[in-house]
Structure 1
Amino acid sequence: MKIPFSPPYIDEAVINEVVDSLRSGWITSGPKVKALEEEIRNFSGSKEVLCVNSWTSGAIMMLCWLGVKADDEVIVPAYTYSATALAVLHAGAKPVMVDSGEDFNICVDAIRKAITPKTKAIIPVDIAGFPCDYDRIMAMVNEPEIRRMFQATSPVQEELGRILVMNDAAHSLGAYYNKRQRTGCETDVAIFSLHAVKNVTTAEGGAICLNLPDPFDNAKLYKELRMTSLNCQTKDAFSKSKAGGWRYDIIGLGMKINMADVNAAIGLAQIREYPQLLKERKRVFNTYTDAFSKWEWAIIPPSICGEKESSYHIYALRIKGFTEEQRDRMIDEIAKSEVAVNVHFIPMPMLSFFKSMGYDIKNYPQAYENYKSEISLPIYPQLDEEKLNFIINTVKEAYAKVTGCNTVDNAVQCTCQS
């Protein structure tokens, strides 16, 4: 049985929405983008939402809006996809990497130790869709001592008066930070990814959620950023296309990172079905957990802890006591059965580019500990009971082949740490 890792969810509703866009005669930024923004805003509880062409470009634009420059520091986890740090570099600042907790997410105590007068932003990442400890992070940046340390070097920073917190929510659309609040509105800025493998996709895309405190006007900021995403052009292409609407101006140095309607149509159909799709992802996640909880070697990934609940984006299984080499052998065994699995993530200090900049994985022991034994299993609505049983048996058989052991007792449960 051949099982892909993360195929997109495309049903008739998605196809019909895309065809409607194609038949409308308008396929770039227009009414469907605006409709998707409204759907995400209502779903997440954010004050304003701007859709762009990727998480990365959205993060670069927001850091540029913040006014970061050379020598400014932005704290990021060492354990994340490279885009988190690359966005900082593209914006002209320095990524300061810190270690993780056992739940994969950024260690809040490590953030505190890394803060200096040069720190302008913190970018926590909701790994696998499980939210970080935002109560502690937001309380920390508002502590009088931390605020006094903050040195503003731009008008936006002066107005904010403290370190900006920008949630890398690439994985966590639909997660609950508490029982009343979904991710997307718990920090100053949150950015969802709408990439092809995400829970809701636009093929490529991102959604910037704005929740800036007073005296910022989020509705006004939305309009400014929307213009910035279109080369700071005073009139978008949809408006220009109307009779007599040709004249425009360029009023600043913008970027060309807008989302197109034909892309938004995919996400628009999916997010309308998302509550049910999310239930299906949870079903898959819980099926894995029920099975692997019987095995002593399986470290179950976090899903619910207190009032936090995952978006069930990735099933990040860890193998107790495994070395990196054993993990890789186990993946090779799984691949022989044509089950596609993955690893989330190779810590950034292990990647050649970041090594060349002086980052060393030895300084991030928990990030390496999380990585060396992690295997990401397929998780998506299309997985039925037969496929799930095949995946589970394949993983168990692969473990047995690598270890020569096939007798186990109790599972190691997840811990709630940050």
Structure 2
Amino acid sequence: MKIPFSPPYITETVIDEVTDSLRSGWITTGPKVKALEEEIKKFSGATEVLCVNSWTSGAMLMLRWLGVKAGDEVIVPAYTYSATALAVLHVGATPVMVDINDDFNISVAAIRRAITSKTKAIIPVDIAGFPCDYDAIMQIVKSPEIKSLFTPTSEVQAQMGRILVLNDAAHSLGAFYQQGVRTGSETDVAIFSLHAVKNVTTAEGGAICLNLPAPFDNEALYKELRQMSLNCQTKDAFSKSQAGGWRYDIVGLGMKINMPDVNAAIGLAQIRVYSEILKERKRIFGLYDAAFKQCDWAILPPSEKNGRETSYHLYALRLKGFSEAQRDMVISKIAEKEVAVNVHFIPMPMLTLFKNLGYKIEDYPQAYENFKGEISLPIYPQLTDEQVQFVIDCVKEAVEEVAKSKV
């Protein structure tokens, strides 16, 4: 039984929506992007939503808007996909990596220890879709002690008056941060990824959720950022193409990171049925939980705790007491049965770029502890109960075989 890891959720409804875009005569940024922004805004509870071409470019845009530059620091977890730190490097700033908790999320205590007068932003990451403790993080940045330490180096930072919290919500569209409160509305800024393997996809894409406090006007900021995402051009291509609408101006140094309508069409069709998609992902997560909770070698991923609930993006199973080499052997044996699994993630200090910048995995023991035994299992709506059971059986057999080999 051949089981891929994460195929896109493409139905006839999705195809029809994309075809509608193709037949419309307009395939770059236009009405479907705006419709997707409104759907994500409604679903997440965010004040405003701007769609762009990737999570990474969205994070770079927000850091540039904040005025983050060389000499500034941005706190990130050591355990995340590299884009979290790459966005910081791209604007010239320094990623300050801190360790994580057993539940994969950033350590709040480590954040507190890492804050200096150079800290301009914190980017927590909702690994696998399970939200971080944002109440505690927001409490830190709003505390008088930390606010007195804050040293703004741009007009926007001065208006902010404190460290900005940008939720890397790449995995957590549809998660609940509190009872009835979804991710995307709980921090100053949150950015969802709409990449091909995400719960809702536009093939490539990202969605910036804006919830800035006073004195910021989120509606005005949306318009400003939209212009920045189009090279700071005073008219978008849709407006400029209208009869007599050719004249435009470039009013600043922007970026070209807009989302096209033909991409937005995929996500638009999916998010309209996302509640059903989430139910199916939760079904599969539950089947895995029921099977592996009986295994003394299994550490189950977090799903619900204190009102928080995952988006069921990944099933991040961990093998208790297994070395990195043993975990890799388990993956190889599972692959022999044509089941594709993955690992989320290789901690950034283990990657060549970051090692060359001086980061050392020894400084992040929990990150390595989580990584060395982690295996991400397939979880997507198309999986049948029979297929899930096959995955479970393959994992159990592989783990038991490796455990017996005593490698």
Aligned equivalents of 2:9 and 2:207: distance in 1? 19
Q: Tell me the SS of whatever aligns to 1:404.
A: helix
Q: Give the corresponding residue for 1:109.
A: 109
AA partner of residue 315 (structure 1): Y
AA partner of residue 80 (structure 2): T
Q: Residue 404 of structure 1: CA displacement?
A: 1.7
Q: Give the corresponding residue for 1:7.
A: 7
Q: Residue 401 of structure 1: CA displacement?
A: 1.0
Q: Give the corresponding residue for 2:95.
A: 95
Map 1:105-254; keep pairs closer than 5 Å. 105-254=105-254
Map 1:13-52; keep pairs closer than 5 Å. 13-52=13-52
Q: Tell me the SS of whatever aligns to 2:393.
A: helix
Q: Residue 71 of structure 1: CA displacement?
A: 1.1
Q: Give the corresponding residue for 1:408.
A: none
Aligned equivalents of 2:179 and 2:280: distance in 1? 19
Q: Tell me the SS of whatever aligns to 2:51.
A: strand
Aligned equivalents of 1:209 and 1:389: distance in 2? 37
AA partner of residue 271 (structure 1): I
Q: Tell me the SS of whatever aligns to 1:80.
A: coil
AA partner of residue 250 (structure 1): I
Q: Report % sequence identity.
A: 74
Aligned equivalents of 1:354 and 1:369: distance in 2? 19
Aligned equivalents of 1:180 and 1:340: distance in 2? 34
Aligned equivalents of 1:272 and 1:69: distance in 2? 39
Q: Residue 91 of structure 1: CA displacement?
A: 1.1
Q: Give the corresponding residue for 1:280.
A: 280
Q: Give the corresponding residue for 2:268.
A: 268
Aligned equivalents of 1:70 and 1:385: distance in 2? 51
Q: Residue 192 of structure 1: CA displacement?
A: 0.1
Q: Give the corresponding residue for 1:410.
A: none
Aligned equivalents of 1:306 and 1:383: distance in 2? 29
AA partner of residue 228 (structure 1): M
Q: Tell me the SS of whatever aligns to 1:104.
A: coil
Q: Give the corresponding residue for 2:67.
A: 67
1:74-128 residue CA offsets vs partner (Å, 9 max, x unmatched): 0000000000000000011100000000000000000000000000000000000
Q: Give the corresponding residue for 1:331.
A: 331
Aligned equivalents of 1:379 and 1:91: distance in 2? 35
Q: Give the corresponding residue for 1:340.
A: 340
Aligned equivalents of 1:399 and 1:68: distance in 2? 46
Q: Residue 185 of structure 1: CA displacement?
A: 0.7
1:331-386 residue CA offsets vs partner (Å, 9 max, x unmatched): 00000000000000000000000000000000000000000000000000000011
Q: Give the corresponding residue for 1:382.
A: 382
Q: Is 1:316 matched up with 2:316?
A: yes
1:6-33 residue CA offsets vs partner (Å, 9 max, x unmatched): 0000001100000000000000000000
AA partner of residue 101 (structure 1): N
Q: Residue 229 of structure 1: CA displacement?
A: 0.2
Q: Give the corresponding residue for 2:302.
A: 302
Q: Tell me the SS of whatever aligns to 1:191.
A: strand
**Normalised TM-score (structure 1):** 0.97
Aligned equivalents of 2:108 and 2:367: distance in 1? 14
Q: Tell me the SS of whatever aligns to 2:278.
A: helix
Q: Give the corresponding residue for 1:84.
A: 84
Aligned equivalents of 1:92 and 1:31: distance in 2? 34
Q: Give the corresponding residue for 1:412.
A: none
Aligned equivalents of 1:394 and 1:182: distance in 2? 34
Aligned equivalents of 2:187 and 2:103: distance in 1? 20
Aligned equivalents of 2:175 and 2:79: distance in 1? 20
AA partner of residue 10 (structure 1): I
Which segments of structure 1 move beyond 2 Å, counting only runs of 4 or more? none
**Normalised TM-score (structure 2):** 0.99
Q: Tell me the SS of whatever aligns to 2:263.
A: helix
Q: Extract unaligned runs of 5+ from structure 1.
A: 406-418
Q: Residue 306 of structure 1: CA displacement?
A: 1.3
Aligned equivalents of 2:291 and 2:179: distance in 1? 27
Q: Is 1:399 matched up with 2:399?
A: yes
1:278-329 residue CA offsets vs partner (Å, 9 max, x unmatched): 0000000000000001111110000001100000000000001000010000
